[in-house]
Amino acid sequence: MTNNESGFVLIVDDTPTNLAVISEALSDAGFETAVATSGERALKQIDRRSPDLILLDVMMPGIDGFELCRRLKADPLHQEVPIIFMTALADVNSKVQGFELGAVDYITKPFQEREVLARVGTHLNLKATQEKLKQSEARLETILNSLDEIVWSAKLQPFQFIHINPVVEKVCGIPAQTLLENSAPWLNNIHPEDLERITQLFLNPQHQQRIVAEYRLKDAQGEIRWLKTKAKIRFCENQQQFIADGITHDISERKQAESQLHYTACHDDLTGLVNRSYFIQAVDQVLTQQTQERFAVLFIDLDRFKTVNDSLGHHRGDQLLIKIAKILSQSVRPVDVVARLGGDEFTILLRNLCDDDEVQVIIGRLQQKLETSFELDENITVAMSASIGVVVGSSKYSSALDLLRDADIAMYQAKKLGKACHQLFSEDMYETALKKINLEKDMRLALRHCQEHRSELTVGEVEGAGSNQAQEPSGSKLEFMLYYQPIFALSHLALIGFEALARWHHPTMGMISPAEFIPLAEETGLIVPMGEEILRQALAQLQDWQTRYPSWSKLTMSINLSSRQLQDPDFLAMVDQAVLDYGIHPSSIKLEITESLLMQGGEAGFAILNELRARGFSLSLDDFGTGYSSLSYLHRFPINTLKIDRSFVQKLEPGVSSFEIVRTITELARSLRMDVIAEGVETTQQSDHLKSLDCEMVQGYFFSKPLAPSAADEYLAEIQAKLMLAKDSSEFQGAQAEHLKMLTEDISEEGDIAAAA
Ligand code: C2E
Ligand code: CA
Ligand code: CA
């Protein structure tokens, strides 16, 4: 015992000498002391100040030691105060009774001072330690109770909580106490899909094993909660048991956010169908599975959707897409996957097919359901149909993207067959598609070369293009260039202009017909830059001729336009800039458009045609008679010239229907104050018939094939010379016609594309 002992000790004894001796000894040892000579005095003293320890004599008059002890142990305020009895050496009974009453120790009289100090010191220390422990337990309890996490310990064999904080009730609705008595409700509420996995984790416990798991638990309201548990297992020697200590917290919110994110990442906002990336994953999954499952991918594209969207507005377009999505989902089985790729493109993965016929049945059902009228808001109904491409899954596919590509190719073929068709993918479709893709690539490249070549020419060079001898303004080395087919006034066979016809000299494939590459350019949108290139080449050529051959200052240039070009918002500005750059008056330019452009162009197209007319351009209606035969609409459009399609011209014989058609067209044109040109004139008879029908202008192999720029230039130069020599106009006409014949026979076939004609 050292001198720095501390503690407040109450000594109770009815023998004052005892009190004095002990009190002195304790004070000397550094303890604080108080004394009481009876039980009654002791109680008063204790009420004033609770001691840290009591040394209590047993035998006292009045309230004796045992009675005092009994009272203190019953009083919650003082029951923790350790009591040491002081008793006579032989008095075994009172020792036993003292311990039974809750005393911590006894001291035998007569006192040994060192023993008293030792015992008092020990018990005070013990009390202090117990107090500290209690405090830290209370602290721990407060912490545990204030946590959001469930902190627990459990025996594992079988599973039974031995500790769990009250938070558990907040999380799962079961009071901690209930779970401590019986942990079965906890296990019973684990989601059946997770239970097996979770029990497996605790099945073969190892000392120091760490466990992390996420699982679902049904709470008291029957709602599913996501929990995350981190636990560590230890072997408890005392209990000969594995015990897990863990922390579990509610991650429901995080899981919900995650699944929300996952949903958005996989779904199409508008229709709620899964999106492209999800679809690709789903197909890839089927491709990688080991089973020989029969499956197919459908690529569905709505017919005419663009028209609905453009004419009725995006809002109704969206409405329609939602309805279509619903129909598609309802037409397949739960195992199938329906996705929206974007726009009006949908895909379906058909799974677990019995045979190939089943695909046909499903497609038949789909097309039938889609081919109904859809009611949109404000009583608007639209008729719909879809083109469907089909690929049947096979071992040759290793990637979903390949399947999707082939389904797309097949859909494209279906579209070509007309509306509401479907096509099964075949290898040669792939070849064709590949060819097209390559052609498109080459076309872009060729176009870029053209554009680069033009930008290399300074404005000065463009202006000076007419200064010297015959040349091709845009360079003969270009892949894309124009040939020029002469156009004549039929009455006196005078040259009045040329039609510019696009040519593609492909470096390896040779000459490619405009009938082949113009549609591809239209499809890909390349027609817009290509159209500008064509216009500029034609204008440059015209400028060259008009300056070099003053007699031809009225020479016109006919240029073909695609409807796609007119849809381009910059079209007018582009045309304005081009005529400005080459100093060409719009009246020298005839723009050839088709009937379909008139019919589909809508109000916007109509406005652009008027704008062009207002600038002085002439408008010719190309291939007239083959299209929509919208004769009744014709007067509404600002057209100058009807160009009779060569199919009528070539069957031109009196008595046959073509003859009457051509007659009707010329009469119609006259009544609408339009003039008429016939294309594709190949024989004297055709020319004569046209003359008899008062057709003003002609164009065709009979007069001249389309000429390369150099040949056209040579032709103009010759006529110019003849014109200067000619004594009168009929002599000139004769000379001109003769020259033309010569030229037509001379010219290599290179520039003409018989196949396309
Ligand atoms: P198109 O505008 O109807 O052009 C007339 C086509 O008939 C030209 O074919 C021409 O070579 C051919 N042809 C001329 N005279 C005769 C004849 O007596 N008999 C026969 N059988 N054919 C004759 P080409 O040059 O192959 O052009 C085909 C089509 O390609 C053009 O038809 C036009 O629709 C389109 N096209 C050509 N160049 C352009 C262009 O620069 N822009 C646009 N958008 N389309 C063009
Ligand atoms: Ca034409
Ligand atoms: Ca034509």
DSSP string, 382-414: EE--EEEEEEE--TT---HHHHHHHHHHHHHHH
SS3 90: coil
Please determine, for residue 284, whether its predicted confidence score (pLDDT) is greater than 80: yes
User: Is 529 found in the same domain as 384?
Assistant: no
% of the chain beyond a pLDDT of 90: 55
User: Is 20 found in the same domain as 107?
Assistant: yes
Provide the pLDDT confidence category of residue 732 given band limits of 50, 70 and 90: low
Cα dist from 674 to 90, 207, 598, 635, 666, whole Å: 146, 100, 16, 10, 9
| Digit-coded pLDDT (tens) for 96-115 | 888 999 999 999 888 888 88
Query: 92 in a domain, yes or no?
Result: yes
Give, in degrees to the nearest 5, the angle at Cα 680 between 638 and 513: 95
Q: How far is the CA of 487 from the centre of ligand 1 (A)?
A: 13
Residue type for position 631? L
Taking the whole predicted model, whether its pTM rises above 0.85 is answered as no
Smallest CA-to-CA distance from 440 within 499, 516, 349, 337 is with 516
Protein residue with its CA nearest to atom 12 in ligand 1: 757
| Digit-coded pLDDT (tens) for 8-64 | 999 999 999 889 999 999 999 999 999 999 999 999 999 999 999 999 999 899 999
Q: What is the pLDDT of residue 190?
A: 92
Q: How many domains does the chain have?
A: 4
Buried b (16+ CB within 10 A) or exposed e, 103-134: bbbbbebeeeeeebbebbbebbeebeeeeeee
Residue 721: alpha-carbon gap to chain centroid: 67
User: Is 547 found in the same domain as 690?
Assistant: yes
Alpha carbon distance 50, 44 (integer Å) = 10
Cα dist from 202 to 155, 168, 195, 562, 706, whole Å: 10, 20, 11, 74, 88
Q: How far is the CA of 622 from the centre of ligand 3 (A)?
A: 5
Report the pocket of ligand 1 as residue ranges, CB < 6 Å.
Answer: 485, 500-502, 513-515, 518, 534, 560-562, 592, 622-623, 646, 679-682, 700-701, 706, 752-753, 756-757
Please determine, for residue 519, whether its predicted confidence score (pLDDT) is greater than 50: yes
Buried b (16+ CB within 10 A) or exposed e, 686-708: bbebbeebebbbbbbbbbbbbbb
Q: What is the pLDDT of residue 395?
A: 84
Label the pairing between strands 224-236 and 241-250.
Answer: antiparallel
Please determine, for residue 438, whether its predicted confidence score (pLDDT) is greater than 70: yes
User: Among residues 225, 256, 287, which one ends one of the domains?
Assistant: 256
User: Among residues 396, 425, 454, which one ends one of the domains?
Assistant: 425
User: Is 383 found in the same domain as 293?
Assistant: yes
Query: 209 in a domain, yes or no?
Result: yes
How many residues belong to the chain? 757
Please determine, for residue 749, whether its predicted confidence score (pLDDT) is greater than 80: no
User: Is 688 found in the same domain as 663?
Assistant: yes
**φ, ψ of residue 693 in degrees (nearest 5):** -95, 10
Query: 530 in a domain, yes or no?
Result: yes
User: Is 406 found in the same domain as 491?
Assistant: no
User: Is 604 found in the same domain as 494?
Assistant: yes
User: Is 252 found in the same domain as 273?
Assistant: no
| Digit-coded pLDDT (tens) for 232-265 | 999 988 888 899 999 999 999 998 988 888 888 8
User: Is 21 found in the same domain as 80?
Assistant: yes
Residue pair 208/195 in contact by the 8 Å Cβ criterion: no
User: What range defines the domain where residue 52 resides?
Assistant: 8-126
Beta-carbon neighbour count of residue 65 at 10 Å? 28
Beta-carbon neighbour count of residue 625 at 10 Å? 21
Q: CA dihedral in degrees (738, 740, 743, 747; nearest 10)? A: -150
User: Is 304 found in the same domain as 185?
Assistant: no
Provide the pLDDT confidence category of residue 5 given band limits of 50, 70 and 90: low
Query: 131 in a domain, yes or no?
Result: no
Q: How far is the CA of 552 from the centre of ligand 2 (A)?
A: 22
Which ligand minimizes its atom distance to the CA of 526?
A: 1
| Digit-coded pLDDT (tens) for 557-588 | 999 999 999 999 999 999 999 999 999 999 99
Q: Point out the ligand 1 atom lying closest to the alpha carbon of residue 681.
A: 18
Q: What is the pLDDT of residue 289?
A: 87
Identify the CATH number of the domain in which residue 275 sits: 3.30.70.270
Query: What are the start-end ranges of the E strands in 284-426?
Result: 296-302, 337-342, 345-350, 373-376, 380-383, 386-392, 422-424
Mutation to probe ligand 1, out of 527, 679, 682, 690 (largest number of atoms < 8 A from CB): 679
Output the average pLDDT for the chain: 87
Which ligand minimizes its atom distance to the CA of 644?
A: 3
User: Is 511 found in the same domain as 401?
Assistant: no
| Digit-coded pLDDT (tens) for 361-415 | 999 999 889 888 888 877 888 888 899 999 998 888 989 999 999 999 999 999 9
Identify the CATH number of the domain in which residue 469 sits: 3.20.20.450
Query: 575 in a domain, yes or no?
Result: yes
Residue pair 105/117 in contact by the 8 Å Cβ criterion: no
Lowest mean pLDDT among 429-438, 586-595, 724-733: 724-733
User: Is 655 found in the same domain as 518?
Assistant: yes
Protein residue with its CA nearest to atom 4 in ligand 1: 501
